[in-house]
Structure formats: C-alpha cells, structure tokens
Structure 1
Amino acid sequence: MPTPAERAAELRELIDAANHAYYVLDQPTVDDAVYDGWMRELQALEADDPALQTPASPTQRVGAAPSGRFPPVRHLRPMLSLANARGTDELVAWHRRARAVMEQEGLGSRPDRFVVEPKIDGLAISLTYEDGRFVQGATRGDGVVGEDVTANLRTIAGLPDRLRLPDGASPPRVVEVRGEVYLPLAAFAELNAARAEAGLPTFANPRNSAAGSLRQLDPRATAERPLSIWCYSVGHRDGLELASQWATLEWLREAGFPVNPDIRVVETIEQVAEECAAWEERRAAVDFDIDGAVVKIDAVDVQDRLGAVGRAPRWAIAYKFAPTTATTTLLDIMVSVGRTGALVPFAVLDPVSVGGATVKLATLHNQEDVARKGLMIGDRVIVQRAGDVIPQVVGPLTQERTGDERPFAMPDRCPACDTPVVQPPGEVQMRCPNRSCPAQIQQGLFHFASRGALDIEGLGEKTIRRFYDEGLLTSFADIYDLHRHRDRLVAMEGFKDVSVDNLLAAVERSKERPWSRVLYGLGIRHVGDVTAEAVVAVCPSLDALLAADVETLAQAEGVGPVVAESIREFLASEDNRDLLERLRAAGLTTESDEPPRPADGPLTGRTVVITGGLEAFSRDEAKRAVATAGGKATGSVSRSTSFVVAGAEPGSKLAKAESLGVPVIDEAAFLAVLAGERPPPEREG
C-alpha cells in the first residue's frame, strides 16, 4: 500500500494529465466523477498533512497552462475555480462555513442573499473592454495566464464590440467581463453529423466542440460554427462600482451582454437548494449543456471579506448535478448501414445509468472516430449523455487495461447485404455501393416517414422492418399502396383494426405535406431540410426539378456545386425518376404553394424569426406569410435577423434576440406589419 506522500504524488500526476487533456487538448480522458474523486482524495491527504501541499499542487491551481498555440495573456485579475458541493448536505455545510467566517469578520448580522445561476459546461473566457471598446479576449488557461483568442471571439454574434450604455453615461476605463462560450446542443448534434458525413473527426462533447471551435488558428473557421455565450461576472474594473452580483448581472444586460434570463435571487439556503434542484430537473430541456448550478453570495463587500482558499472563493460554490458521464465496459463494436450506404460503427455497452437513463448503445460516428479515440473492444470507457443528444463514447480509460482487450477493424463487406464496401476518394467513411441493400432501403423508409419529412405517425423503425420482411415495403411509393393490404395488416400479430386505420389515416395525411418536405424525405445526399427549402425556391415543382441543370440548382441559397451534382445524380437514375412519378400519381404534393417573394412587399429584404405559439398561424403558415410579404423566415437568431415575432411560451430565441438587441414584436404587431398598417420594427442606432 503506498504511503500518503506516494499516493499524493500519484494523484498529482493523474490530475495534471487529466487537466492537460481537458483544458489544453480539449480531449477529456476521465469522467467528472473520477476526476472529482481524485481531487477530493488529494485535498484530504493535504489537509491531514499540510507538508504534502505544494504551490504546484492541482488543488492550488486552475485548469492547465496555455497550449502555446496562441499568444499568452495575463489576466488583470485571476480567474478562480469553484469548490464543488454534491447534494444538499454539502451545500448547507458550505453555507455554514461561510457564515462562520462572516461572524469572524464582524458580518454576522448581515442577512443572507444568494444568486443561483446555471453552471454552463463550456469554455471560460475573459473579455477586456477599454473605454467601452472590446480590445482583448482570452481563455482561462491556468487562471493567471490564458490564450489570446480575440479575433475568434469577435465572430460570436452575441458579443458586443462596444458597450451599450445610457445616453450621456461614460464607459468604465477598463472592465474585464467573464463568461462561458458554448455550442448549443442542437448545433453540436448537427455539427458532429456533418463532420461524420464528411469523414472528419467528431467532437467528444459540446464543451470540447466549443473549445475546439474557439481555438481555431483561422477565425474564419470559428465563424462557421454557431457559438454562443453567456456572461455572468466582472473581474477587474476601473471606473465601475457594483455593489452586488445581481447588480453586476443587471449592468451586463444593459451593456449588451447575453445574460441567462433564468438566473434567480433567493434569501435562504433552503431556497438555494430548491433552485438547484429545479435546474437539475430542467437540464435536459435547455439547449445548452449544464453540469450544475453556481451559488454566489450576492453582496460584493461580503465577497471581498470572505476572500478565497487556494484556488476557490469562499463566497461561491458549484452545486454539481448527477454526472452525465459514467464509466462502463465496451462489450463490442458493431456496424450499422445508413440510408446513404455509410457504414457507421456503434458501441455495445455493459448497461450503465447516465444522466438518469440506462445506456446500452452509443454512437461512434465512423472508423476515424474509433481510431482517434484509441478504443479497443473490452476497454473500460467514459460514456456521455447530454440532454437529447445521442449517447457517445468519449474515450477509453487506458490505465485500466488488462491486456485482454482487442482492436476493432471495419468490415470489408457490407454487414447487411455482403457487398464489398468502398471508400470514396477523400472520404473517411466507408460505404456500401449496393442501392438495393436492405439496410439502406429500410433506413431510407424511416427517414421518409420521419417527422421532419412526411411525418407518418405509426411508421417507425420496427414497423418498417417488419413490413419490409413481409414484402409490403421496398420503396417510398409502396407506403401509398398499404391501404390495398388492410386485411393482411389487421391479421398480423400486434396489429388491430384501430392501429391499422390510424396508420392508413396518417399515410393519407402525409399527402398534404409541402413539396419541400417531400424533397427532403427522398434522402438525397447532402440535402437536409433547409437545403430542400432553398431548392424548392428555384424549383417550385417536380417538373421544374426534373428539368433543372446543375447551374440552375446552384442558384439556390446555400447550394454549391457538390450539392447540385448530388441532386442531378439522384435524378439521373431511371429508377428514381419512376419513383417520383409514382409518388406524384399517389397524390403527394409536388408543387410549392408558396408564391414568389414580391419585390416590394412589406417585409422585402427582412429576415424574421418566429418563436412560441401563434393564434392566427401554425408555424409553417407563419413562414409562408413572411414569404408572401417578401421576407425570409429563418430558424435561428443572429445579428442579421431583422426582428423576432414572439408568441406564447417563447423559447431561448427570445433571450438571444434581447441579448443581441434584435427588435421583438408580438403577434398583433406582426399582423399589422403583414397588413401594411405599420412599418417593420427597426434596430435602435
């Protein structure tokens, strides 16, 4: 058994390696629970024997040294880390310790007041403004020295280049704003899917994707990724007095910084615990990764008197949620075949609970992902699950290998149809070239029936697989012949009259789906839902699409030569053209009912975002109304957004609009604008 000194040295080495992987390489090697366990053990050893604590100990430092890829920046005020509380008991114990120090400092009569904020799992940054102008941005680094990423931070839409201050107000001479850069979960899933499709390495988690995006040497690469930011504190300040954390947040909002709208002020530690529990309950409902809540004593003078212990302030603590990462055994790596023929490896895991759900399978994206992570079958691995994002394997715990693990190799023949696989030039992804591959057909059918395409409720993967095995479905058009087989369907085990009739009714309703959804449902490579809408704008009917050449298709917004060529290749197939004619004959929508945008409509040249429920329109109807008025309806808020229409229960888009200074109007005002009774709102300034 090692001595305390030997164990402390071992723990320092383990933690330093984990810090370097997480903060510098953006590639975590251990999960949060393992890391926190090491840190707690080291803290306990150092508490028992203070001689074991050195200035270089991880307990006395924040993060890791800068990587050297960017110029170093010395923070005007150190960026500290936070101590952790797991559960209410540890939260109450932190409060008790803080109150004891307050008693010693003569502050015992001060009433409690706390601010509870979400703990964003992103990349901590510092933003320096001089005389109201953004002059420098840096990563946290080791807390004292970070990396200069100013140019990359300027690409983030929500970050003000100049402070927005009331008329006549003088900006502080110098102010250092602190925040967290993150990638929204939906954008993370889309980014990884696109990278996997392109044969590029995928990111391990949203935090790593944000860090990797922000630390691009070319700012143009950063600009292509939809990074967001929440700001939550002020470090060094010259010419700015702030009496409390809540006043700090109010100043940040007024100055134009994105501040999370759900931050709360409470008066008792019991209310703090309730707020922390509330954040944990809704962590899967927000579009950003959070791993806890941050609790801060509100008054700045109390914060100053409480000070810090080592690397952590006494006046704040991170209430950590149940981890969304866990460790388990990688039992096997198997391969599925997607609708485009891509061979996709996936992990078969010893079942483990992650973030409240039992995980048995996890994505691995492609063989490059497996190789990059260094995975072997039989490894102990870190598994991560964030919100609704598909669980994924972050990496192996190589220190736990026994020698019984074995390497994985991609098959040289399709596991579904035994056709020799190919690897197109310039691609990492291996593919099955057989268009008649049963796996491709079934996955294509599932995509066609999915909510984003034809939205055929009741036609899920299991049902499609069964109908395929029965010979009822071999193409999209066969779906519209299912009514001819009603008696056979009712006779099948697990089906009854009601379920069959509901399915057939959903099939009939799908014929009313817009032409853009039909085009998206075809599963043409590189044609997602947004691209499909852009193509329909230049090819408003099936006949127009069939007649379009590459040059015509490339006129669609966001469609380049590669996508245009992919569409033409699909249409060049006689089988595909026959399929389209069968769908037309079945009664599907093959023409757009959206009129061309007028050159002088009330919304000509305007970009509109709609969030929340409207009484007069469905979401699709509202988008068509915008187009009819000459405008363009998009799904995300950016600096180029002209205004946002907020209906009932608006989502995070409303908060982002407010943070960017984008005008927001209600439904009544929207109707008045559409009718030409009032002009569209304009940005101030």
Structure 2
Amino acid sequence: MQKSDVLQRITTLTRELNEHNYKYYVLAQPSISDFDFDKKLAELASLEEAYPEFLDPDSPTQKVGGDITKQFKTVRHKWPMLSLSNTYSEEELREFDERVRKVLGDHFEYVCELKFDGLSISLTYENGLLTRAVTRGDGSQGDEVTANVRTIKSVPNRLKNDGYPALFEIRGEVFMHQAAFERLNRERQENGEIPYANPRNFAAGTIKLQDSAEVARRPLDCFLYFLYMDGRDRAFKTHWDSLNAVKSWGFHVCEHTKLCHTLAEVFQFIAYWENERYRLTYDIDGIVIKVNSYAQQDELGFTAKSPRWAIAYKYKAEEVETILKSVSYQVGRTGAVTPVANLEPVQLSGTTVKRATLHNANEITRLDLHELDTVSVEKGGEIIPKIIGVNMEKRVPETSKIQYPTHCPACGTLLIRKAGEAVHYCPNELGCPPQIVGKIQHFISRKAMDIEGMGNETVEVLYKKGLIKQISDLYSLKEHKDRLEQLERFGEKSIQNMLHGIEKSKEKPFPKVLFGLGIRYVGETIARKLANSFKTIDALIHATCEEIAAVEEIGERIASSVTEYFSKEIHLQQIAVLKSVALQFSIVEEDRVLSSDKLANKTFIISGVFENHSREELTQLIVANGGKMLSSISNKLNYLVAGDKMGPSKLTKAQKLNIPIISEADLIKMLA
C-alpha cells in the first residue's frame, strides 16, 4: 500500500471504531458484532505498528489501560478545587446578581453552563501532553488517577493544533451516560453484585479502580469546562474565549453553553433546561452561572470555600404522588429477594413510571407502607424510581400494613438474612425455580459461555418441560432430541444450532467457565483474576479464604463467598459432571521461549508501585526468565519484590516468615 492509502485507511478505521464505541457505550445500541469490532481494531493496530509515524495517541488502540495502581498518590492542587455556592430559588440568584453589581457595576456578562452530576477532575498538560489527572479530594489535595483517565476516550492524551500554553490545568467532570449505566448495572445484578445507585456513583467507583484495563472497559466520558494557567488573563480575556480555544485544542466541551448579557437571559436558560434535561443522555442537577471576564473574576475574589464570581442554581429532584397498588417480590439467581412497588402509572421525568424499587425489608419498615397508600416517587439522579415518602393525610383507613415475607414467594422456603446484610435470601438453590432458571441463563450468557442458539426464553421453556434442572443438564440435551422436536417453535434447524452451540461452549477458557458458575460477587473481572492466580479449579477449591483474599483486588467478602460456594457438596458434584463432559477447568499455558532460566524454580510476589517498570512488566520479566508468580505469601515464596506504598500486611507476613524482600533494582540485577 502507498503511504497515502495507509493513512486514509487508518483515518477510516479510527472514525468507524470511535463511532461504534459511541453507539455501544453511550447509546447502548451496538450496530456491529464484537467479533467484527475486534477485527477492525486488530487491523488498525497492525497498521499503526507497521507505520508508527501515523500512530495517534488518541487512537482506539491506545485507550486500553493496563497499569496497576496499588495506592493512589496524594497530590496538592496548584489552584484549590473549591465548591460552588448553591441556590434553589430565583430570589437567591437575584441576591447573587446584586452582590456582583455592587462590586462591578452593570457592565459584565455571565456564562451559563450545565451542572453535570459526575466526579470533578483536574488535568495537567505540558507541551500538549497529558501528564497528570487528580481528583478533587478535599479541595486542597486529591488522588492522582492519571493511568485511569488516559483510558477515557474523550480525554485527549495529546492536543490537536497549536496555540496552547506550555503548561496549564483544565478542570472538568467525569461522568457516565445513562444507557451505559443501565447496561452495566444489569450485568452487575446478573453477576450477583450490588448495583450502583446512580451513574455518578458508578463513575466515581470506576475512576478509583486499581486496574486501568478494567477502567478502559467501562464507558466513562468527560466534559472540560475551566482553564487555569499562570498569567491566564494575558492569554484570554474571558472564560467564553477560553472555552472556544480549548475546544479547538481537542477537548470535549459541552455544546449547551450560553453567553448571557442580562439576568433575564440567565433565567430563560435555567427554565429551558429544567424540562429539556430529561432529553440528555447524561444527568445534570442544575446550571452553573459564572462571571465571564477573568479580570472581573479576580476583582470579585473568593470566600474561604467558594468563588464570589460563580454560583450553582440546582433543580429540585422531580417527585410525584401516585397510588401504591401492591408490592411484589423478585427472586434473583443468587436467591436475593427484592421488593418492588407496583404503582398506578404516573408521568415522571419524561417517562411513565409503573414500578419503583423498595430495596429491602428495612426500607418497607422505614416508610411504614400500607396498602393503597399515596406515595411520593422521585427519580432525580436515580435511574430506577424510588419511593421517598408516604402522604399520611391520604392514607385509606383500616388498610393492612405491608409485611415483608418470611418465606420465599417462589418456593416457600424460609428466608435467611446474614449478619451485616440488609437483603433476605432464599437458601433453596436446588429447588427454587427463579434461582435455577437464573443460574442457567447466566451460564449461557454472552460474557460467560456464550452459547449460540439459546436465549433466556429457551431456558425457561426447557426448565418448565423438565429437560434441564441444572447447568450440567445442558450437556445431555442431545440425548433428548426426540423430546426437543415435540416442543413448539423448536424446528430441526434451531435444535441443531442450539446443540452445536452447547458443544462449541466446551472450548471456552477457564475464566469464562468460572464466571459462568455464578458464584456470588464473582464478576467477569474477578473470575479472570482467580483463574490466572490459581490456574486450576482444584487449586481454587482447596485454597483457603486467606489465600484467595491475598489475590490483588479480592477482599475478604469475595474470598468468603468463594470458599462458601466450594464448601457445598452440590456445587462440587456439579463441577465433577462438567469436568466429565470436557469443560475447561484450568488455564492453558501457551508454549513460550524463555529469555533465560536465571529465575528457574524461584517464586515471586510483586507488591507496591515501582519507579521504572509497571507491575505487569516486572511479572513478564520474571516469567520470561523462568520464574513463577504466586498469589499469596507462604513458605513456598522465595522473593517478595517490594515497591513504594506496598501493603503493610504483606510486608509483616514476609518478615515473619523470613522471606527475602528485594527491590526493583535487585530483581534487575538478578537478570543481569
């Protein structure tokens, strides 16, 4: 190919992949299969490798993460990240305007911006390159999360064009689009994980993950809205001018911003977005009003907590009253019983609401719910509506109090509630239909065994007809082909595709099989970490709770859930059957040529943050030279490679067992 053709192809692939990322993450409406997306990504990567002069730091191939951060470094802000004063009324906003006029007179402008409901972030750029990203923290100092922010597709790692200062900071908000939040929360619930309450919490939790590769898999976005630099008023006279400039440098600036010459225009902007905000793909909770001129901002100055030249007008969370018709109870695949309020349909935040979450028994007790109560329902920042109160004046006399059930609504088994948890569970996992069906549906799902030719409805039909009662029954369906042919809508072709998909699933790697088992709290990422750490299902079964908890990012709660799962004979029997049909229960190590055998028969654990190498790079060095990585500290460990800010518990245990503690430099010397 001619170089011009290569550049054209790279440009085309980049544009297509960015468009598909937007459809998948923001709109939750993918228009291409994962396989086809991966093919395009692989083609782009190969072209960039062959023609490095065309590699763009913001290419889709570069936003994948990979760095591990054990502890986030605390960084002091050069310019404090102050909070804005809030107002909820026009009267208070008029008072703010009067205070500004007393200092500035009548000749000034306001810039109105949407107030995003996300996580504040400060980015530092040097010579056009992103060098540091820091959270708000306490306003004077925050956590450095640079590796994670680099994975956000809308944050440029290298600026476009020119004209930017050699050194500056830009402030903004990290957030998650509603459709992406709903999709990810559904996945968490399917995995038996606790869903996040709203997109802001999900974004905040994601930006503080230790594995930047996992951050890259979650669709964060970022709007930038304020520029800081030494002598900034010499570069730009106004905030409005700086917004237009940073847009040309490649920053994602919200298009819904307005330059207002009068307070009346400000009120018009506020009124417009009070209704139009529900059409946005992301959450806002108000409008930010800033004095436009930098010189006038300096003149107005700051209080101890906030600038005197800006204020946030916050919308009240919309709430409506409706009638509580009944409360139903959903049983999930993990046995969790969740109460749901069935409501008289009502319009709320642009949608018709018929149901609202009640979370758990504690919430029903707190609200003192009765049948036919008139309840207040709020959406606000929550995607799922919730009941926030009861109008006691409208309570119907002599109605019965809502009682949380003592027995499973699906199978009648006495519910249990573990200490420290708010959720009730049905322990009858072998005989409770929603649990059985839910576990099988999870097993066949795309991120687990990805069995083609089967869907959730198929699983329900096969269960009702008595053809499957547990996961392993899927692999004996071929023996019941005659019965399958008697079922409605089961043609010969569809049966053939389903049986082929089941047979094909035997090739799925161990991490997917482990995820498919549906162990509580073990999502896709945790399953991969466990599989890579213990290598085989037998090693994981026999691991202690302490050994499992020692794996990076796996705490006691997950470890306890895993050991409890494998302590039950019914699960061990199920695994034995799945083994007998040839499912993959071990990591297949690829044959590789070693760089040397200098570390042969030596075992290592890496902990902490290192100056010259990432932990992943050190792991590759050890393995490439014959060494073996362990997941926990024991007498089998030969060396603990210790970096900055390593966990004190690991250090104490290694010292107690007299295990040699070496540095990054010591390890490199061993390879010299």
Question: What is the TM-score with the length of structure 1 in the denominator?
Answer: 0.51
In 2, Cα distance between the equivalents of 1:254 and 1:600?
47
Matched, 1:120 2:129: no
Matched, 1:150 2:139: yes
8 A Cα contact 1:179 1:232, kept in partner = yes
1:78 shift after superposition: 7.1
AA at the equivalent of 1:515: F
Aligned partner of 1:345 in structure 2 is: 339
Query: Residues 428 and 452 from structure 1, CA distance in 2 versus in 1: closer, same or farther, beyond 3 angstroms?
Result: same
AA at the equivalent of 2:433: P
State how 1:28-39 maps to structure 2 within 5 Å. Answer: none
8 A Cα contact 1:198 1:429, kept in partner = no
8 A Cα contact 2:440 2:470, kept in partner = yes
Aligned partner of 2:326 in structure 1 is: 332
Matched, 1:525 2:534: no
Equivalent residue in structure 2 for 1:472, among 464, 467, 471:
467
State how 1:411-426 maps to structure 2 within 5 Å. Answer: 411-426=405-420
Matched, 1:481 2:476: yes
Matched, 1:402 2:395: yes
In 2, Cα distance between the equivalents of 1:406 and 1:596?
68
In 2, Cα distance between the equivalents of 1:123 and 1:294?
15
Aligned partner of 1:289 in structure 2 is: 283
Per-residue Cα deviation, 1:419-455 (whole angstroms, up to 9, x for no partner): 1122222222222222322222122112212222222
8 A Cα contact 2:192 2:520, kept in partner = no
AA at the equivalent of 2:354: K
8 A Cα contact 2:113 2:258, kept in partner = no
1:235 shift after superposition: 11
In 2, Cα distance between the equivalents of 1:190 and 1:466?
27
1:581 shift after superposition: 2.3
Query: Residues 198 and 439 from structure 1, CA distance in 2 versus in 1: closer, same or farther, beyond 3 angstroms?
Result: closer
AA at the equivalent of 2:324: L
Question: Higher mean Cα deviation, 423-432 or 459-468?
Answer: 459-468
1:504 shift after superposition: 3.1
Per-residue Cα deviation, 1:199-229 (whole angstroms, up to 9, x for no partner): 99x9764458889999xxxxxxxxxxx9997
In 2, Cα distance between the equivalents of 1:293 and 1:418?
51
1:403 shift after superposition: 4.1
Query: Residues 373 and 449 from structure 1, CA distance in 2 versus in 1: closer, same or farther, beyond 3 angstroms?
Result: farther
AA at the equivalent of 1:446: Q
- RMSD (Å), alpha carbons: 6.3
In 2, Cα distance between the equivalents of 1:561 and 1:317?
41
Query: Residues 153 and 213 from structure 1, CA distance in 2 versus in 1: closer, same or farther, beyond 3 angstroms?
Result: farther
8 A Cα contact 2:448 2:513, kept in partner = yes
In 1, Cα distance between the equivalents of 2:387 and 2:355?
13
8 A Cα contact 1:384 1:392, kept in partner = yes
Structure 2 residue matching 1:334: 3-state secondary structure: strand
Q: What is the aligned-residue identity percentage?
A: 30
Matched, 1:454 2:449: yes
8 A Cα contact 2:329 2:409, kept in partner = yes
Matched, 1:507 2:502: yes
8 A Cα contact 2:291 2:297, kept in partner = yes
Query: Residues 481 and 243 from structure 1, CA distance in 2 versus in 1: closer, same or farther, beyond 3 angstroms?
Result: farther
Matched, 1:441 2:430: no
Structure 2 residue matching 1:473: 3-state secondary structure: coil
8 A Cα contact 1:324 1:384, kept in partner = yes
Structure 2 residue matching 1:567: 3-state secondary structure: helix
Structure 2 residue matching 1:511: 3-state secondary structure: helix
In 2, Cα distance between the equivalents of 1:81 and 1:181?
23
Structure 1 residue matching 2:424: 3-state secondary structure: coil
Query: Residues 373 and 154 from structure 1, CA distance in 2 versus in 1: closer, same or farther, beyond 3 angstroms?
Result: farther
AA at the equivalent of 1:557: E
In 1, Cα distance between the equivalents of 2:467 and 2:190?
32
8 A Cα contact 2:437 2:460, kept in partner = yes
1:524 shift after superposition: 1.3
8 A Cα contact 2:135 2:145, kept in partner = no
The runs of 5 or more residues in structure 1 that have no matched partner are 1-73, 85-104, 128-133, 139-147, 215-225, 305-312, 609-623, 633-685
State how 1:493-572 maps to structure 2 within 5 Å. Answer: 493-572=488-567
Per-residue Cα deviation, 1:187-206 (whole angstroms, up to 9, x for no partner): 79979998999999x97644
Number of residue pairs matched? 466
Aligned partner of 2:61 in structure 1 is: none
AA at the equivalent of 1:417: C
AA at the equivalent of 2:412: D
Aligned partner of 2:52 in structure 1 is: none
Aligned partner of 2:425 in structure 1 is: 431
Per-residue Cα deviation, 1:71-93 (whole angstroms, up to 9, x for no partner): xxx99997576999xxxxxxxxx
1:474 shift after superposition: 0.8
In 2, Cα distance between the equivalents of 1:197 and 1:374?
31
In 2, Cα distance between the equivalents of 1:280 and 1:480?
50
8 A Cα contact 1:328 1:382, kept in partner = yes
Query: Residues 408 and 570 from structure 1, CA distance in 2 versus in 1: closer, same or farther, beyond 3 angstroms?
Result: same
In 1, Cα distance between the equivalents of 2:107 and 2:419?
72
Equivalent residue in structure 2 for 1:605, among 614, 629, 639:
614
In 1, Cα distance between the equivalents of 2:345 and 2:561?
40
1:520 shift after superposition: 0.9
Question: What is the TM-score with the length of structure 2 in the denominator?
Answer: 0.52
Aligned partner of 1:586 in structure 2 is: 581
8 A Cα contact 2:87 2:311, kept in partner = no
1:506 shift after superposition: 3.2
AA at the equivalent of 1:420: L
8 A Cα contact 1:448 1:476, kept in partner = yes
Per-residue Cα deviation, 1:19-64 (whole angstroms, up to 9, x for no partner): xxxxxxxxxxxxxxxxxxxxxxxxxxxxxxxxxxxxxxxxxxxxxx
Query: Residues 530 and 400 from structure 1, CA distance in 2 versus in 1: closer, same or farther, beyond 3 angstroms?
Result: farther
Structure 2 residue matching 1:240: 3-state secondary structure: helix
In 2, Cα distance between the equivalents of 1:530 and 1:358?
35
Query: Residues 349 and 506 from structure 1, CA distance in 2 versus in 1: closer, same or farther, beyond 3 angstroms?
Result: farther
8 A Cα contact 2:191 2:522, kept in partner = no
Query: Residues 329 and 591 from structure 1, CA distance in 2 versus in 1: closer, same or farther, beyond 3 angstroms?
Result: same
Structure 2 residue matching 1:412: 3-state secondary structure: coil
AA at the equivalent of 2:325: L
State how 1:222-261 maps to structure 2 within 5 Å. Answer: 230-233=223-226, 240=233, 242-249=236-243, 260-261=252-253
1:536 shift after superposition: 0.5
Per-residue Cα deviation, 1:384-405 (whole angstroms, up to 9, x for no partner): 387xx86231523537743456
Matched, 1:363 2:344: no
Aligned partner of 1:391 in structure 2 is: 384
1:154 shift after superposition: 4.5
Structure 2 residue matching 1:536: 3-state secondary structure: helix
